[in-house]
Amino acid sequence: MLKVENISKKLGNKMVLENCSLNVKDGSVVGLIGPNGAGKSTLLRCICDVYQSDSGSITFNGETIHENEYLKQNILYLSDDPYYMYNATIKEMKEFYQIFYPQFDEEVYRKYLKAFKLDENKNMNNFSKGMKRQSFILMALAISPKLLLLDESFDGLDPMMRLLFKRAINECIETKEMSIIISSHNLRELEDICDHFAILENAHIETSGDIDDTKESIHKIQVAFKEEKQRSDFEELDIMHYTQQGRIITMVIKGDIEENKKKLNDMNPLIMDILPVNLEEIFIYEMERKGVFTNE
């Protein structure tokens, strides 16, 4: 298990992370959510010890990660712009990674080299962004670390490559109990692969949790009444978001769905529909609730 406990990090005069805590269980996939500049990359770099946090602690399976070279053999950080040596081929980068990750699996490497249709002898300087991304995903899959940190790793991938990558990740989780943190501002890319989420904003992890549990506790309900209502008429409900067009009201409500439906039914609505809510909406409504989004 990864444990991030109350870490803080300043870059220059800016407090990028402040008292951030996060637990990642073995075999879990956590979506690290936040707008650009929220500190997602900084948090991942602190976890893998590229940056040393100013305070707090980070442990993996009970051991401190900082300057623990043996432990780092099972941790891989794939940045949004991965480093590769000038004029290096995929094969040369493979040999570079094999120095630091002795568990590098040649068979897995060959499998995904073929699946991604990459030529290991070609110079990576001439690759498109998507091909460079595929090349480093190939390395990550061959290394199969116990902890994989992915920073905007779906950028530059076409839909088929994204699907193949997601399937490969699921296979790694099932066979090797790999734990993964994926940072992204594209929440729809995360929803079908992550089982947990953490929202990072204003240097803090504002909220985190199990995606399925969260979806079960947050519902979008559309209702209409014979007489026009006001938001104040629904004070008994824990409303995250409220919109109204005439007599038609759409609310995003926290709490037990059956209890909320009963409260609304007691008000004799003409119609009541339960609508689906996705991870992107949960993020937006949580941020609105905390006053992060303001009109300027």
Half-sphere exposure (CA, 13 Å, Cβ side) for 204?
Answer: 7
What pLDDT sits at residue 294? Answer: 44
CA dihedral 76, 81, 84, 88 (to 10 degrees): 130
Which tokens belong to 284? 């937006």
Identify the pLDDT of residue 23: 94
Instruction: Say if strands 63-64 and 14-24 run parallel, antiparallel, or are unpaired.
Output: unpaired
Protein fold of 219-289: Alpha-Beta Plaits (3.30.70)
CATH of region 2-201 = 3.40.50.300
pLDDT at 40 (0 to 100): 93
Domain boundaries, the chain: 2-201, 219-289
Predicted pLDDT at 295: 42
- The kind and range of the H/E element at 32 are strand 29-33
CATH topology identical between 2-201 and 219-289:
no
pLDDT at 258 (0 to 100):
94
Nearest CA to 106 out of 152, 149, 144 is that of 144
In Å, how far are 34, 54, 132, 194, 266 from 89, measured between CA atoms?
A: 34, 37, 11, 32, 68
Task: Give me the average pLDDT of each 10-residue run along the chain (296 residues).
Answer: 96 95 93 87 96 96 92 92 86 94 94 93 89 91 94 77 84 86 80 87 87 88 93 94 93 94 95 88 76 49
